Amino acid sequence: MKKVRRMLVSAVLALGILQLASPAHAEFMKDWRSLPSGVSFMAPTEIWRMYSGNSQDWGGGSFAYWGSDQTFRAVDSAEQSLGVGKWFVTNMHKMCYRADWYWFQDFKTAKKTITICQQFAKDAQGRIWHRETNENRNGGWLPFDDTTFIRGDPSLPAFQKLQAQMGLTKSPKSKGSGR
């Protein structure tokens, strides 16, 4: 019995050491060390409140809307593209959106479904940090500019106009337009 117990403990320790030695763990630790001291992950409810019912100015004429009903909409007037889908917050301190993106290509509308996730942390001074975490690829931690949020959905008219030009007839509700 003691021999079996020792073997089990040895196996568990070996698995733990292998996991700690994995490239993914090393990358996580390197990224985590690049943050200021006193950083902790943000609570999912705090992430939800930051996004829910707000638009985010992505710059260059592009906006994303994060509806309180988990609707995700985005429009990029300069690139003539739009995204439609759902957004959600995970218990792993991430905000993700899964969307169908549409754009003009070869005289018709092209489409691709993507999922994008960002993980959030906050330092002792209250500054928010984030990194992209997608498909086993983690980006580096960067300061997050939460001043890009706008209450409601002021980009809805631009979204609807481009949606009509693309021949996508399903129209989003104008709930929370902020006007």
Residue 16: pLDDT above 60? no
Distance CA 84, CA 67 (A): 11
Residue 152: pLDDT above 60? yes
Distance CA 127, CA 108 (A): 43
- Higher pLDDT: 172 or 10? It is 172
Do residues 152 and 175 touch, judged by C-beta distance below 8 A?
no
Write down the pLDDT at residue 177. 43
Output the average pLDDT for the chain: 80
Write down the pLDDT at residue 107. 87
In this predicted model, what pLDDT tens digit does every residue of 19-31 receive, in sequence order? 333 344 344 444 5
pTM for the model:
0.73
| Element spanning 3, H or E | helix 2-20
